Amino acid sequence: MKGTLDDLKMRIKELPISDVIGKYLALTRKNNQTLAVCPFHDDHDPSMNINDHKGMFYCFVDNIGGDHIKFVQLYKKVEYVEALEDICDKLGWNFQDFVQKKQDNPKYDMGKKILSKATILYKKSAETKYSNHFQTFLKNRGLNEEIAQTYQLGFSPENNALFDYLSSIKDEKDRGFALQIADELKIIKPSQYGEKSHYDTFRERIMFPIWDQFGNVIGFTSRAIRDDQKPKYMNSVESFLFNKRNLLYGLHLAKTAIRDRSSVIIVEGNMDQIALYAHGFENSVAIMGTALGDQSLQKLEAITKNIYLCLDNDQAGKKAGDRINAQFMAKGITPYFVDLGQHKDPDDFLKNEGRLAFQEKIDNARLYIDHLLNENFPKTIPELTERKLEALHSLFEILAPLGSGLAAKERVAQLAKRLGLQADSATILNSYEEFLKQGKTQSFSRPAPQMPEPMDSDIPPMEILEEKVELEEKLNSVEKTLVQILVQHPELFEREETAELLDFVGSNEVKTYISRLKEVFFEIDESEYESVVSKLLNDRQFSLELEATASAALFKYRPTVLNDKIAGKMIKDIKRKLHEQKLKSRKEELKALQNTTQDQEDLNQVLKDLAQVDREINMLKKSSRKRTK
């Protein structure tokens, strides 16, 4: 049974969904129904319906549903590939048979065998003949034996132990192939004594295995034990197994903690990650070098939207932080900045300040964009208005990834005040809008180190803006209802007033999904609707929350057409609810601004806006009551 992950997905979906869910939950049969006690809420009477004909589950209490794989994602709180792996484990299938074809390539198999054997060899060396060097390193770095075992730390001996082992393989063909692959991985290198003579690349070094997200060793990083050894740190070279841009050191250990704590701490370098893990911050990963590859970003994005950047406190680390922040913001995620003060890196901070102090830094972390704004604010405010405007426009570039939302506009207004600009808020905001229209959103470049030191922070607290960003990432109950109504009754897309509903939707993801659903409805026959919409939900383009919401509606879908009166009332009701939800969100924002605004003129405007929003909410409620009488 060989294939790819797509083959595996199809094999799983070919099974009755009850066969898969039955591996996780006790099922009961009642009449023609298959039921289970729902694990997603405090359930006592079975409220989860499992339909083998549709290949879907549905809980009528939580109002969520999905297929075999989505159930495992929700139940185990894992990402897509891990759900596939878990299902394989339950079914007694070998997951590795379905990992991409390169996994079946003898070259990859041999490479992994060599690196696995090298890990064992280095670990054994650390525990025997060379234990003094190894124990000294652990003591100096404050690491215990448990951490050494967890990370499979080892020591590469001064002789050519790995080359000697590979040379001892009895079968000539296997021996030649092993030496060829080891040479290609550059874990051994040709010596000056001829083609068949090699030496170990790593010698007299503390060895740190590097794993992929599934826990397979794919390379090493190492540290010198003597001052005269160059370089101090040495990594495996890029190879068919090792690509440092797409690696996150420690991810295979951190995944569960990242999900449980709904956050990840990104550091620079394996020792920082190990130090954090040893101090109880298991939800940490390290980039290899100073770059975060797209694949790495996608892996983290699939697990959490709460990103804490805690890179080295030098110019390279700061530039890396700026780049990674921009990468996440391009995905609609706003990371936090962890301030290490005068300490050079997280490891140094923990040694000198301890775990509680670091936790305090995490708890008090400000958004990275606010850190950048403060750091690039002029140390001395210019006297000339033209220079003040130039300073403000240079800060627009940092704000641009936030777009024209409230989070950006509030910051624009506050920065203008700090610069002493006298123009009214509307004029300042128009200037920012023009900046965005001109497309001046190129990546922010950190100034050279000789620039003046930034002022101490006096930008007012941005707690409400941080909360707003968090809220925008989740679907509210009315948006979920809208998605489910349109999935169950796609004929509503034929009515002109349905298009107006999107004007009241705050979630870009919901807007995108509804637009795709509309395209599907007008392009296919009615008989194809269920299968095409199901495929749309299985393309993994949307969040698990939206997929579960739409899947629940698809479970209940019946090809019926609403009469004109009911359809009209349904659209009016959902429009009113969406409008009311939008007004309530606006009211929450204004209330928060009321608590943080210090200027009396601006406070008066906020109070006026609040009164206007209250009037609109009351008018909506009155209108609703009249219709129900």
Same domain, 137 and 212: yes
Same domain, 335 and 359: yes
Measured CA to CA, the distance from residue 414 to residue 355 in angstroms comes to 35
Domain end, chosen from 45, 69, 98, is at: 98
Structure tokens at 125: 């060396």
Longest dimension (CA), the chain: 98
pLDDT of residue 452: 36
Beta partners for 205? 156, 224
Residue type (1 letter), 209: P
pLDDT of residue 524: 76
Domain end, chosen from 364, 393, 419, is at: 364
pLDDT of residue 195: 57
Beta partners for 51? 56
User: What are 243-277's pLDDT values in tens digits?
Assistant: 887 889 999 899 888 888 889 999 998 999 999 99
User: What are 121-143's pLDDT values in tens digits?
Assistant: 999 999 887 788 899 999 988 88
Handedness of CA 434, 435, 439, 441 (dihedral sign): negative
Cβ(29)–Cβ(38) under 8 Å? Answer: no
Note down the domain range covering 616: 477-628
CA 109 to chain centroid, in Å, comes to 30
In three-state form (DSSP H/G/I as H, E/B as E, the rest C), the secondary structure along 129-183 is CCHHHHHHHHHHHCCCHHHHHHCCCEEECCCCHHHHHHHCCCCHHHHHHHHHHHH
Same domain, 355 and 393: no
- At CA 212, angle to CA 147 and CA 545, rounded to 5? 100
pLDDT of residue 186: 92
Same domain, 549 and 582: yes
The H-or-E segment that residue 34 falls in is strand 33-36
pLDDT along the chain (629 residues), means of 10: 73 90 92 89 90 90 91 89 91 80 71 94 89 89 91 92 93 92 92 74 94 86 88 88 86 86 92 94 90 83 88 90 89 91 94 95 93 88 86 86 82 88 84 79 47 36 32 68 91 87 83 85 79 78 85 88 86 88 82 70 80 83 63
Same domain, 484 and 613: yes
Distances (CA, A) of 81 to 11, 64, 66, 95: 14, 21, 16, 10
pLDDT of residue 123: 94
Give the residue from 338, 374, 370, 366 showing the smallest Cα distance to 353: 338
Residue with tokens 């940490």: 284
Handedness of CA 535, 536, 542, 544 (dihedral sign): negative
Same domain, 482 and 415: no
Cβ(181)–Cβ(111) under 8 Å? Answer: yes
Give the residue from 7, 77, 67 showing the smallest Cα distance to 538: 67
Expressed in angstroms, the distance from the first to the final Cα of the chain is 65
Q: Give the burial class of 239: count Cβ atoms within 10 A of its Cβ; 0-12 exposed, 13-18 middle, 19 or more buried.
A: middle
Helical pair 251-261 and 294-303, crossing angle rounded to 10 deg? 40
pLDDT of residue 472: 35
pLDDT of residue 25: 94
Same domain, 481 and 623: yes
In a 13 Å sphere around the CA of 198, the CA atoms on its Cβ side amount to: 24
Residues 6+ away with beta carbon under 8 Å from 427:
none
The helix/strand/coil state of 348 is helix
pLDDT of residue 466: 33
Same domain, 611 and 481: yes
Same domain, 141 and 111: yes
Same domain, 606 and 482: yes
The helix/strand/coil state of 208 is strand
The H-or-E segment that residue 65 falls in is strand 64-66
Domain end, chosen from 225, 242, 259, is at: 242
pLDDT of residue 449: 44
358: domain CATH number is 3.40.1360.10
Measured CA to CA, the distance from residue 473 to residue 307 in angstroms comes to 14
The helix/strand/coil state of 128 is coil
Give the residue from 235, 413, 272 showing the smallest Cα distance to 350: 272
Q: Where are the beta strands (DSSP E) in 357-494?
A: 366-367
Q: How many structural domains compose the chain?
A: 5
pLDDT of residue 441: 47
Measured CA to CA, the distance from residue 547 to residue 510 in angstroms comes to 10
Structure tokens at 357: 């102090």
63: domain CATH number is 3.90.580.10
Structure tokens at 238: 């890029």
Residues 6+ away with beta carbon under 8 Å from 250:
270, 273, 274, 277, 284, 285, 286
Same domain, 616 and 486: yes
Residue 251 φ/ψ region, left for φ over 0, alpha for ψ in the -120 to 50 degree band, beta for the rest = alpha
Same domain, 428 and 468: yes
